[in-house]
């Protein structure tokens, strides 16, 4: 009992063209169908054309076409009597010693089908008629999923629990036709003239069950993805990584519901249409974005520019608002400011400057533009020396510059000399115009 192969390649070759009547899949099957009946095509015992024929009935001598992307399963009284997963033309023979019950070829289904056949094969006396169904082996698209409220998972990159509402679609494949038919398809789809088993049918309770199981596995799938170092631990990549997230979701549904090992189903690809994070997660993501933007060399450069701009503003307006703070900062000396910046750089983990300043003596001075430690000066720097704001080097004493105290001593008896000193203080912003006018009036009587 079993099938005899007549030709390979479905509907191919001149031998196939000579067949006047045979069984093949019905033509009105949607892409989301998983199981559908075989129908007779050709002539009907010489009584004219027959384009519909009796549904899924195979008797001795029946000829069968198995197209690409399908598998044929025959059953009698609920027991599997034959399986063909190789495309081609076959004849059902109940008394041919060369007949075989299984044709799986050398493809990906070969080992799986053989194991399933040994588990569910029919061991009784063959009857006169069998029922035949075709199983869709192609990717089955447009299987929807979505959550009505937030789901939560622990995110390794953010180091916290995050939550979101999400929706999308996935494709799946039937990787073991026998397991699918025996363990998952309801009985009403395994009878003569049964309706098409369509995953997208709203009245298909089995399809609705898969929807609920996928939704119940989303939290574990997000956790699998974001905590897998191979995926980069970034949930922002999920929407563009259909295969990577599909693997995470497939693992989650297999662990929870045994899709592949118990039902012969496997998720292939996932397309996430939207992820809407809750308010706490949005705030956390905003903080992480800012931290990422200011990390590494970019963060050091930004910090150095900010300090340099602050020093420049303080130098341009020493007597204005905040001028006291700017003068105090200038009084620290640029070497001390460089040391502060170097210490801030040490707090940024993993930056290139961190490796350069390790081993630098305590109290070392740093270049404000590069963040590198300055070489010690060969000559002694006098206490209170001024430093160049761009290079951090001590300024050379100006020979023509006279100390303010000496100028004041030499001008004790000369009101015009005192007035010149006051004018200089006014120009530097030390004195206000009102103070200058009052002192001028006092000196000039």
DSSP labels, 295-316: SHHHHHHHHHHHHHHHHHHHHH
The pLDDT assigned to 35 comes to 95
Helices and strands counted in the chain (H then E): 13, 16
| 61 vs 300: CA distance, rounded Å | 82
Q: Which of 70, 69, 63 is closest to 18 using CA atoms?
A: 63
pLDDT at position 435, please?
83
Average pLDDT over residues 372-379: 59
Q: Which residues pair with 166 in a beta bridge?
A: 275
> Strands (DSSP E) along 137-204, which ranges?
140-146, 151-155, 160-174, 197-198
Distance, CA of 362 to CA of 231 (rounded, Å): 42
Residue 82 pLDDT grade (very low, low, confident, very high; cuts 50, 70, 90)? confident
Name the residue with higher pLDDT: 410 or 1. 1
Across 205-220, average pLDDT: 93
**Residue 84 pairs with which residues in a beta bridge?**
72, 103
Spatial neighbors of 410 by CB under 8 A, at least 6 apart, are: 417
Residue that has been written with the tokens 């180091």 in this structure: 159
Kindly state the percentage of the chain with pLDDT values over 90: 26
Mean pLDDT of 203-220: 93
- Is pLDDT at 218 greater than 80 in this prediction? yes
Point out which residues pair with 167 in neighbouring strands.
146, 274
* Structure tokens belonging to residue 28: 């009105």
Residue 302 predicted with pLDDT over 90: no
Q: What is the mean pLDDT of residues 367-392?
A: 60
What lies within 8 Å, CB to CB, of 159 at 6+ separation is none
What pLDDT was estimated at residue 299?
Answer: 61
Q: Cα separations (Å) of 150 from 85, 166, 167, 270?
A: 42, 8, 11, 19
Write out the two tokens for 409: 């001593």
The mean predicted confidence, pLDDT, of the chain is: 74
Q: What is the pLDDT of residue 413?
A: 63
Indicate left, alpha or beta for 75 from its phi (over 0: left) and psi (-120 to 50: alpha).
Answer: beta
Residue 28 has pLDDT above 50, yes or no: yes
Would you say residue 260 has pLDDT above 90? Answer: yes
What does the pLDDT read at residue 55?
A: 62
> What does the pLDDT read at residue 212?
94
pLDDT at 330 over 80: no
Q: Are 375 and 335 in contact (CB under 8 A)?
A: no
CA distances from 171 to 33, 75, 200, 329 (A): 12, 28, 12, 64
Mean pLDDT value across residues 397-418 = 58
CA distance to 85, 198, 321, per residue, from 31 (Å) = 18, 9, 74
Written as six digits, the tokens of 42 are: 């050709």
Give the C-alpha separation, 151 to 218, whole Å: 8
199-202, Cβ contacts within 8 angstroms, sequence gap of 24 or more: 199/32, 199/33, 199/34, 199/140, 199/143, 200/30, 200/32, 200/142, 200/143
In degrees rounded to 5, what are phi and psi of residue 343? Answer: -65, -35
The listed range with the strongest mean pLDDT (117-126, 153-162, 225-234) is 153-162
- Is residue 174 predicted with pLDDT exceeding 50? yes
* 330 CB-near residues (< 8 Å, 6+ apart): 311, 314, 315, 318, 389
- In this prediction, residue 412 carries a pLDDT of 57
Give percent of the chain with pLDDT exceeding 70: 59
Q: Determine the Cα–Cα distance for residues 222 and 248; give it in Å rounded to an integer.
A: 7
- Distance, in Å, from the CA atom of 25 to the CA atom of 66, rounded to the nearest integer, reads 8
The two three-digit tokens of residue 151, written as one number: 């789901």
Q: Given a cut of 60, is residue 117 above it in pLDDT?
A: no
Strand pairing category for 160-174 and 151-155: antiparallel
Q: Check: CB of residue 338 under 8 Å from CB of residue 374.
A: yes
- CA 344/CA 403 separation, integer angstroms: 36
Which of the residue ranges 44-58, 125-139, 290-304 has the most confident prediction, judged by mean pLDDT? Answer: 125-139
What average pLDDT does the segment 145-157 reach? 89
Residues in the chain: 445
Closest CA to 344 of 312, 384, 306: 306
Q: What pLDDT is attached to residue 70? A: 94
Q: What radius of gyration, in Å, describes the C-alpha atoms of the chain? A: 42
Q: Tell how strand 79-84 and strand 102-103 pair up.
A: parallel
The answer to whether residue 239 scores a pLDDT higher than 50 is: yes
Residue with tokens 């001390």: 336
CA angle 19, 21, 22 (to 5 degrees): 90
CB 218 within 8 A of CB 251: no
Query: Do residues 26 and 11 touch, judged by C-beta distance below 8 A?
Result: no
The band of 256, judged by pLDDT with boundaries at 50, 70 and 90, is very high
**Mean pLDDT over residues 57-79, rounded?**
86
- C-alpha 150: how far from its chain's center? 18
């Amino acid at each position: 009992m079993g099938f005899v192969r007549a030709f390979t390649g479905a509907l191919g070759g001149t031998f196939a063209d000579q067949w006047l009547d045979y069984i093949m899949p019905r033509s009105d099957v949607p892409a989301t169908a998983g199981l559908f009946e075989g129908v007779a095509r050709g002539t009907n015992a010489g009584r004219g054309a027959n384009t519909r024929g009796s549904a899924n009935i195979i008797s001795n001598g029946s000829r069968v076409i198995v197209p690409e992307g399908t598998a044929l399963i025959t059953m009698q009284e609920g027991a599997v009597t034959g399986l063909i997963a190789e495309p081609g033309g076959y004849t059902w023979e109940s008394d041919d010693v060369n007949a075989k019950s299984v044709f799986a070829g050398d493809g990906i289904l070969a080992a799986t089908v053989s194991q399933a056949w040994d588990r569910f094969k029919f061991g009784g006396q063959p009857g006169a008629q069998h029922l035949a169904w075709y199983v869709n082996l192609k990717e089955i698209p447009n299987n929807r999923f979505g959550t009505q409220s937030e789901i939560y998972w622990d995110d390794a990159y953010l180091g916290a629990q995050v939550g979101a509402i999400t929706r999308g679609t996935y494709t799946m494949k039937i990787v073991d036709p026998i397991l699918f038919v025996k363990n998952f398809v309801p009985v009403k789809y395994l009878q003569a003239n049964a309706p098409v088993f369509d995953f997208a049918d709203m009245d298909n309770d089995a399809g609705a069950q898969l929807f609920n199981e996928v939704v119940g596995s989303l939290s574990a799938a997000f956790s699998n993805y974001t905590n897998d170092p191979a995926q980069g631990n970034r949930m922002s990549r999920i929407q563009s990584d259909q295969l990577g997230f599909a693997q995470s979701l497939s693992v989650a549904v297999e662990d929870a519901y045994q899709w592949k090992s118990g039902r012969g189903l496997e998720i292939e690809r996932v397309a996430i249409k939207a992820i809407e994070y809750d308010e706490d997660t949005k705030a956390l993501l905003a903080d992480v974005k800012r931290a990422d933007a200011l990390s590494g060399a970019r963060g050091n450069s930004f910090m150095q520019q900010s300090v340099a701009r602050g020093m420049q503003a303080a130098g341009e307006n020493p007597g204005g608002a905040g001028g006291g703070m700017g003068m105090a900062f200038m009084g620290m000396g640029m070497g001390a400011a460089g040391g502060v910046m170097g210490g801030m750089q040490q707090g940024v983990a993993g930056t290139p400057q961190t490796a350069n300043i390790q081993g630098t003596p305590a109290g070392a001075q740093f270049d404000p533009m590069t963040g590198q430690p300055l070489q010690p000066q060969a000559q002694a720097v006098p206490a209170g020396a001024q430093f160049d704001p761009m290079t951090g080097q001590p300024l050379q004493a100006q020979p023509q510059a006279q100390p303010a105290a000496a100028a004041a001593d030499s001008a004790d008896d000369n009101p015009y000399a005192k007035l010149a000193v006051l004018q200089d203080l006014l120009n530097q912003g030390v004195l206000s115009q009102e103070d200058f006018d009052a002192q001028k009036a006092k000196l000039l009587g």
